[in-house]
Amino acid sequence: MKEALANLERTTDSPLFVTLGRIFQAAGHELSLVGGPVRDAFLGRKAPDLDFTTSANPDETLAILKPHVDAHWDIGRAFGTIGARIGDDTIEITTYRADQYQQDSRNPEVTFGKSLEDDLFRRDFTVNSMALRLTSERGGAAPVEVGAKQFVDPYKGLQDLLDGVLRTPGKPEDSFSDDPLRMLRAARFASQLGFEIEPATFEAMQAMAGRIEIISAERIQVELTKLMLGKHPRAGLEALVDSGLAAQILPELPALKLETDEHHHHKDVYEHTLTVVEQAIDYEKDYNLEGDFILRFAALMHDTGKPLTRKLEPGGGVSFYHHDMVGSKLTIKRMKALKFDNDTIKAVARLVELHLRFFGYSDQAWTDSAIRRYVRDADDQLLRLHALTRADVTTRNKRKADRLAHAYDDLEQRIGVIMEQEQLNALRPDLSGEDIMRILDLKPSKQVGEAYAFLMELRLEEGPIGAEEAEKRLLAWWANR
């Protein structure tokens, strides 16, 4: 406990806190650092954002800040939040809140609270319900003094932080009813912090998982992204599946728990997927992709086509023909439903589509033209495809794993050689679209596209042949089509 409090004092030892406390105290209002920044300070790290809560309403907060800040904005005024920049620090100050969701609403009803303790009570988990009071106390729970500041912890969040436990300040059923997104945040914090969800809290998640349907797709997407970028995504994903939340927001994941029988056996696709996610994270550093959401989500979705393509074969075998293509389509559908941007959707879906391509190479080395096609199809996702393909090897057969690893080493080496020789990163035909229109006397049309495709196939098969030879081939193709 003493070490944690020392971390808090050290991390928050800044003139910024003194200045903010002084100006709000002079205006007759309370101000406290609250939530994630306090939690992170105990963990000995500086939070990326500084969140404060105050007894002042938004207009009063703005009036207090204006003479002392370099810039300010009120885009969150409707929710009680005023933002500002002081030197290198960006802060957000929010009026005490006591809002909640109505039974059928997709957005919270914003209401302002009256005290710090009430504000802390309406927060999601006890580890986020701690505050560092920067002004004098105006009633409430007795604080623990930290230097010139006061640590306020009415719901024993520090003990839960030390124990690595996630629980709600009040009854979890009430908390999740007020804001169902908190159930998803529990899974997200399990991923980010590696904490366990307290049993009563988890039981409430299981009982109320269906309530997540009132939350907007945009808010769900934000939490899912943070979960995937956490240090322990397996823990978060397992919490989603075991609570029933995944069935609501990402049904492709629990669907991977395929039933087996005594006659047909195959790898546990769900467990394999979680392992691939972990191994993809391990490969991130090898390809300079640390904290890469696209790679991690592609690893999560890469086998989602298997449930729809599973076929029980005679003799006890199981096949999943074309699960790569089916999985790519499922990925696009799910990511669109979750309101991801088009570029992210395209990148993840392409990786899912291509994740099996390499495995033919391990049986027979490819021609140079096949390697060119591999690079062309991967395009700007090539490094991610390298990481995903390697991560997809989860066999316990060491000889097989070594064979696949050596085969991919060889493929990467050959790609490097061909890239150096032919600049494959900018793979194009020897003639441009303008050249084609000039040579064939065409205007922009479908025929130009067909001619370009012919030249691209020629480039892939034979490598660069030069503009003069390409023109001869183009004219011959045009004459014979």
Q: How far apart are CA 256 and CA 320, in angstroms?
A: 12
Structural contact between residues 157 and 129, judged by C-beta atoms closer than 8 angstroms = yes
b/e map 292-301, b = 16+ CB within 10 Å: bbbbbbbbbb
State the residue for tokens 């580890």. Answer: 127
Q: How far apart are CA 76 and CA 86, in angstroms?
A: 18
Structural contact between residues 469 and 433, judged by C-beta atoms closer than 8 angstroms = no
Structural contact between residues 431 and 471, judged by C-beta atoms closer than 8 angstroms = yes
Kindly give, in sequence order, each residue whose CB lies less than 8 Å from that of residue 292, ignoring residues fewer than 6 positions away: 284, 384
User: The pTM is what?
Assistant: 0.82
Kindly give, in sequence order, each residue whose CB lies less than 8 Å from that of residue 327, ignoring residues fewer than 6 positions away: 301, 302, 303, 304, 305, 306, 352, 353
Coil, strand, or helix at residue 191? helix
Q: How far apart are CA 109 and CA 111, in angstroms?
A: 6
Name the β-bridge partners of 54: 31, 95
Q: For residue 406, what are its two tokens?
A: 């050596």
Using the 8-state DSSP alphabet, how is residue 103 labeled?
Answer: T
Structural contact between residues 131 and 120, judged by C-beta atoms closer than 8 angstroms = yes
Q: How far apart are CA 323 and CA 302, in angstroms?
A: 9
pLDDT in tens, the chain (481 residues): 666 666 666 666 778 888 999 999 999 999 999 999 999 888 887 777 899 999 999 999 999 999 999 999 988 888 899 999 998 889 999 999 875 556 666 566 667 888 999 899 989 999 999 999 998 765 344 455 555 578 999 999 999 999 999 999 999 999 999 899 999 999 999 999 999 999 999 999 999 999 999 999 999 999 999 999 999 999 999 999 999 999 999 999 999 997 654 444 556 899 999 999 999 999 999 999 999 999 999 999 999 999 898 887 776 677 788 999 999 999 999 999 999 999 999 999 999 999 998 887 766 778 888 888 898 899 899 999 999 999 999 988 899 888 889 888 999 999 888 887 766 666 788 899 889 999 998 888 888 888 998 998 888 888 888 899 999 999 999 998 8
Amino acid identity of residue 17, one-letter, is F
Coil, strand, or helix at residue 302? coil
> Quick one: which of 224, 406, 245, 373 has its CA closest to 301?
224
